[in-house]
Amino acid sequence: MRLHEYEALDIFEQNGIPVPRRGVASTMHEALHVAGEIGYPVILKAQVLVGGRGLAGGIRTASSPDELKEVAESLLSSDVKGLPVLKLLVCEKVEIARELYVGITVDGYSGKPVIVASTEGGVRIEETARSSPDKIASFHVDSSLEFYPYQARTLLSRIGVSQQLLTSWTDVIGQLYHIAMSHESLICEINPLVVLPNGGLIAVDAVLEIDDSALSRVRFPLPDRIERIENPLERRGREIGVTYVDLDGDIGLISSGAGLGMASMDIIGERMKPANFLETGGGITADLLYRCMELIMMKPGIRAVFINVYGGINPIHEGAKGVVRYINEHNVKIPIVAKALGNRQEETWEIFRSAGIHVVTEAATEKAIDRLYELVGRG
């Protein structure tokens, strides 16, 4: 679960990392109040759980109350990469002498925490690794042992950090490591870590993503996982117990497993555009498949639906009943193609066919999507 920037900054501050004066606003008037307490100029940052906010126009400066009114109203009535802006982080604008980077992530191969530091902040760390490998260094930590300051100093010495910065940056790394371990995070990052004109350090941005499997062990209040999903369709998917990812296309997809769904999505994408990824997690009940149909049809512009389910222990005919009930109740007229194999498949095929659904009985998903393409055409 990724936290909003303002939530991560609060945690960083509680653990001793210097952060800007700031406040959160949901309206223009709240933003005015926060800015009045902080003093101008201020930075207004859209609080959406997506990267690249700056390039997408989600981070702006205001130097006066009049300018703030205009900027706040503009941001709060906009979206960033398709996500509505519901909250703004209003921060003091700090004077920047230099930008650094420090982050802690998990090595997917070894499972160990990795501390990454760079003398070039404010850009994607992947770009620095490609263009200036001498300005970035990393260190794998044995999380079963205590982390010592000398390890951070050794890391920083590899990228030529000055003695003036060495102590304060070492302290920040130690604090960040404590946050990462105590919160069981997948990523804990400051980019940029700003060097002030007086030589001090301050975190002007914060990223903290907690491992979903660790949420039950985290011993501090967490925001509701469903309410923080900003895409309404994806939020609805979580509410009904399925994995739904909203995409840019117009071909709805229902699958009974992640692998089946990913394969279907890839094959659809060769000639058409999937509107979503949806997998039921193995459940194929009448009620769940009814809700799945309801969910994918909530998206405007759906031209066709592809259903790809497999039943081992679970019979699949009940799920077919749910799909047919939705079609009949809502008078659905778009093409629907179903590939349904497994427990009670023949009965399932007859149920689908009774509602005019095109059933493909071959095992190969390609055959079913060929049929879908014939029905939808190139339009």
CATH of the domain at 299: 3.40.50.261
Backbone angles phi, psi at 325, to 5 degrees: -60, -40
289 in the same domain as 166: no
- The pLDDT score that the predictor gives to residue 320 is 97
User: Who's near 213: CB < 8 A, 6+ residues apart?
Assistant: none
- The pLDDT score that the predictor gives to residue 379 is 46
Asked whether residue 106 is domain-assigned, the answer is yes
Task: Kindly report the CATH number assigned to the domain that includes residue 86.
Answer: 3.30.1490.20
370 in the same domain as 245: yes
**90-115 pLDDT per residue, tens:** 999 999 999 999 999 988 778 889 99
pLDDT band at residue 223, thresholds of 50, 70 and 90?
low
103 in the same domain as 198: yes
- The pLDDT score that the predictor gives to residue 220 is 59
pLDDT band at residue 259, thresholds of 50, 70 and 90?
confident
DSSP alpha helix (H) spans, the chain: 5-14, 28-38, 65-76, 125-131, 149-157, 163-182, 232-240, 258-271, 286-297, 317-330, 345-354, 365-376
260 in the same domain as 369: yes
160 in the same domain as 40: no
Task: Kindly report the CATH number assigned to the domain that includes residue 205.
Answer: 3.30.470.20
pLDDT band at residue 30, thresholds of 50, 70 and 90?
very high
- The pLDDT score that the predictor gives to residue 18 is 98
Asked whether residue 223 is domain-assigned, the answer is no
- The pLDDT score that the predictor gives to residue 230 is 63
Q: Supply 149's token pair.
A: 């300051």
- Give the chain's domain count: 3
Which of 59, 92, 125 represents a domain boundary (last residue)?
Answer: 92
- The pLDDT score that the predictor gives to residue 138 is 94
Which of 44, 59, 92 represents a domain boundary (last residue)?
Answer: 92
Which of 194, 217, 240 represents a domain boundary (last residue)?
Answer: 217
pTM exceeding the 0.85 threshold for the entire prediction: no
Asked whether residue 5 is domain-assigned, the answer is no
177 in the same domain as 105: yes
Q: Supply 2's token pair.
A: 């990724």
The residue length of the chain stands at 379
Q: Supply 176's token pair.
A: 């960040």
Does 153 have pLDDT greater than 70?
yes
263 in the same domain as 136: no
Note down the domain range covering 170.
98-217
User: Who's near 346: CB < 8 A, 6+ residues apart?
Assistant: none
Range name among 18-27, 138-147, 357-366 with the lowest pLDDT average: 138-147
